[in-house]
Chains A and B, each alone.
Chain A
Amino acid sequence: MSEIVSHQPRGISLQRINAMVLRYWYLLISSWPRLLELIYWPALQIITWGFLQNYISQASGFFAKAGGTLIGAVILWDILFRGQLGFSISFLEEMWARNLGNLMMSPLKPIEFLLSLMIMSLIRLAIGVIPMTLLALFFFGFNFYAIGLPLIAFFCNLIFTSWSVGVFASGLVLRNGLGAESIVWTLMFAVMPLACIYYPVEVLPVWLQYVAWTLPPTYVFEGMRSLLIDHVFRADLMAWALVINAILFTASFAVFLALLQSAKRNGSLLAGGE
């Protein structure tokens, strides 16, 4: 071994994860449009939905009573959606830059790569969602952080789902090239109607309710409504969401590794294009 290289542990290396986070950080701060975009869409969302909530609160006794459910749902949906985008866009940056071959040829392990993408998704999420919550407080008097400890359970469950979807979508792009890029942008929207973000699960046809209950976000949004409307924290819902998330998370890793192997068989790692 060359004398200039430190001995590296056989397991996961924090140094390599840090190197990848640094890589995405450099990229983020190198472009102000990238930073602005992270804040722009969440801000636009909260302002639009916030005014809608104000309007229907005046017209409907239910919404007046259930103050903030719409705004709360918008913020939680953004955590879910932007958490996945934050993960997947960092991955896509490697495809766009044709840098994946360099990374795959380096000592960076797939698990370290995925962990760095998760950290980056948290950073990107914080840049977008924290200003969003401040806007909700300033314009509409909705203090997202007043949810308190249950917020941790909501956040953890949503971020785990977003990472699972992100890992799965990234695996598909890895295997199929940038031709599959649209999956990254649209996959989470397939979850949207069934996750019951803005309405309770009972609204769905009975058979579809069974499908909805297989998705962890459904538990989170039901839990949020229970907290904001009935002031009851449903720990059971959060526990179920966590169990399903654990299964999804493990499955998404397994699928990613299988797609990586398939990409190696197919020779698409060096190609990377469409």
Chain B
Amino acid sequence: MQQRGTGQAQAPAAKEATAADQAPVADQGGSAAIDVAHLVKVYKTTRAVDDISFSIARGSITGLLGGNGAGKTTTIAMIMGLVLPTSGSVEVLGAKIPEQRYDVLGRMNFESPYVDMPMRLTVRQNLTIFGRLYAVKHLRERIDQLAADLDLKEFLDRSNGKLSAGQKTRVALAKALINEPDLLLLDEPTASLDPDTADWVRQHLETYRKTHNATILLASHNMLEVERLCDRVIIMKRGKIEDDDSPEGIMARYNRDTLEEVFLDVARGRVREETP
């Protein structure tokens, strides 16, 4: 299937991304939040990401879908500059990654099941440290505000290791929001959460995007989550982009009622033309 990453679903703002080439450090404001071009990552003999291109408009929520080993986490890690691409380019908020990542790291944040908050430290201590790393002003007030927003008050002085999975996820989300990021990268943000907590987290993300005009890129296996949250879905399979459109557009094209059905079609190799 042809890659459609830079095609129809690209927001108009993304077309201005090339302006950042001339102004490598200063953020142009109007450019795409993320601009990925011909990105490839090869680990020894495995092509984890295979020539993908897409742009993500500011203020949007985009879901990165795909089965295990599809290349979602590697793609997000390359956007963050934690993994170096074999070839291709990434620009985030107008800065070239990884060369200029320190110019924009203060405006980004992330949450991933591959990392933890230190277990022995209390929630307040952890948030204080990350707040200082991100140079957050009026940090005490900011932590109190996050504690109120994310319902952390009662265990703010409890060590992270003594929290339930749901509480830990809320703390990780508080860390991800401590600097009020313009760009939030989330890898499985509601994995291992009960439906109530997961719904609560989704609600919070939606509110955050609306109130801060933030851009969110999330990798998820949870199709309902993607359907509910995302303006746009990029489906990956074996390192390539299989499809890229709004959830409604994709479901219509596959003639399916849910993204889960579309996901199964893609995972099992049933191409659009063959679907009933």
The verdict on A100 contacting chain B, using a C-beta distance below 8 Å, is yes
**CB contact between A270 and one of B48, B115, B134 (< 8 Å): that residue:** B115
Q: Specify which chain B residues have a CB less than 8 angstroms from the CB of A271 in the assembled complex.
A: 114
Which residues of A from 96 to 129 have beta carbons under 8 Å from B?
A: 97-109
Annotate B141-157 by CB proximity to A: 1 below 8 A, 0 otherwise: 01000000000000000
In the complex, are the beta carbons of A4 and B115 less than 8 A apart?
no
The residue in chain A whose Cβ has the minimal distance to the Cβ of B80 is A105
Kindly state the separation between the CA atoms of A23 and B175 in the bound complex, as whole angstroms. 14
Kindly state the separation between the CA atoms of A15 and B98 in the bound complex, as whole angstroms. 23
Number of interface residues of A (CB under 8 A): 44
Q: Specify which chain B residues have a CB less than 8 angstroms from the CB of A182 in the assembled complex.
A: none
In the complex, are the beta carbons of A6 and B115 less than 8 A apart?
no
19 more A-B contacts (CB under 8 A) besides A267-B77, A269-B83?
Answer: A2-B107, A2-B181, A4-B136, A4-B142, A5-B179, A16-B133, A16-B135, A26-B121, A27-B120, A30-B159, A93-B118, A97-B116, A97-B117, A98-B114, A98-B115, A98-B116, A261-B84, A269-B82, A272-B114
In the complex, are the beta carbons of B118 and A5 less than 8 A apart?
no
In angstroms, how far is the closest chain B Cβ from the Cβ of A192? 32
In the complex, are the beta carbons of A15 and B115 less than 8 A apart?
no
The residue in chain B whose Cβ has the minimal distance to the Cβ of A18 is B132
In the complex, are the beta carbons of B84 and A265 less than 8 A apart?
yes
Q: Specify which chain B residues have a CB less than 8 angstroms from the CB of A26 in the assembled complex.
A: 120-121, 125, 129
Q: Specify which chain A residues have a CB less than 8 angstroms from the CB of B251 in the assembled complex.
A: none
**CB contact between B115 and one of A30, A93, A99 (< 8 Å): that residue:** A99
**CB contact between B117 and one of A2, A5, A99 (< 8 Å): that residue:** A99
In the complex, are the beta carbons of A101 and B179 less than 8 A apart?
no
In the complex, are the beta carbons of A270 and B73 less than 8 A apart?
yes
In the complex, are the beta carbons of A5 and B136 less than 8 A apart?
yes
In angstroms, how far is the closest chain B Cβ from the Cβ of A174? 12
Which residues of A from 75 to 99 have beta carbons under 8 Å from B?
A: 93, 97-99
Q: Specify which chain B residues have a CB less than 8 angstroms from the CB of A65 in the assembled complex.
A: none
Residues of B at under 8 Å CB distance from A? 41, 43, 48, 73-74, 77, 80-84, 98, 102, 105-110, 112, 114-121, 125, 128-130, 132-138, 142, 159, 175, 179-182, 212
In the complex, are the beta carbons of B106 and A267 less than 8 A apart?
no
Q: Specify which chain B residues have a CB less than 8 angstroms from the CB of A20 in the assembled complex.
A: 129, 133
The residue in chain A whose Cβ has the minimal distance to the Cβ of B106 is A107
In angstroms, how far is the closest chain B Cβ from the Cβ of A15? 6
The residue in chain A whose Cβ has the minimal distance to the Cβ of B175 is A102
Kindly state the separation between the CA atoms of A98 and B121 in the bound complex, as whole angstroms. 13
Kindly state the separation between the CA atoms of A27 and B118 in the bound complex, as whole angstroms. 9
In angstroms, how far is the closest chain A Cβ from the Cβ of B99? 12
In the complex, are the beta carbons of A100 and B120 less than 8 A apart?
no
Total residue contacts A-B, CB cutoff 8 A: 131
The verdict on A264 contacting chain B, using a C-beta distance below 8 Å, is yes
Q: A261-B84, A267-B43, A270-B82 are in contact. Are A106 and B116 (CB under 8 A)?
A: no
In angstroms, how far is the closest chain B Cβ from the Cβ of A232? 48
The verdict on A266 contacting chain B, using a C-beta distance below 8 Å, is yes
Q: A101-B82, A107-B102, A264-B84 are in contact. Are A1 and B107 (CB under 8 A)?
A: yes
The residue in chain A whose Cβ has the minimal distance to the Cβ of B103 is A10
Of A10, A102, A103, A108, the most chain B CB neighbours within 10 A belong to: A102
Kindly state the separation between the CA atoms of A197 and B135 in the bound complex, as whole angstroms. 45
The residue in chain B whose Cβ has the minimal distance to the Cβ of A34 is B120
The residue in chain B whose Cβ has the minimal distance to the Cβ of A273 is B114
In angstroms, how far is the closest chain A Cβ from the Cβ of B115? 4
Of A18, A31, A109, A265, the most chain B CB neighbours within 10 A belong to: A265
Which residues of A from 1 to 27 have beta carbons under 8 Å from B?
A: 1-8, 10, 13, 15-16, 18-20, 22-23, 26-27
**CB contact between A6 and one of B48, B74, B121, B137 (< 8 Å): that residue:** B137
**CB contact between B134 and one of A98, A100, A106, A261 (< 8 Å): that residue:** A106
In the complex, are the beta carbons of A2 and B180 less than 8 A apart?
yes
In angstroms, how far is the closest chain A Cβ from the Cβ of B59? 14
The residue in chain A whose Cβ has the minimal distance to the Cβ of B44 is A266
In the complex, are the beta carbons of A107 and B105 less than 8 A apart?
yes
In the complex, are the beta carbons of A97 and B119 less than 8 A apart?
yes
Kindly state the separation between the CA atoms of A16 and B179 in the bound complex, as whole angstroms. 14
Kindly state the separation between the CA atoms of A265 and B48 in the bound complex, as whole angstroms. 12
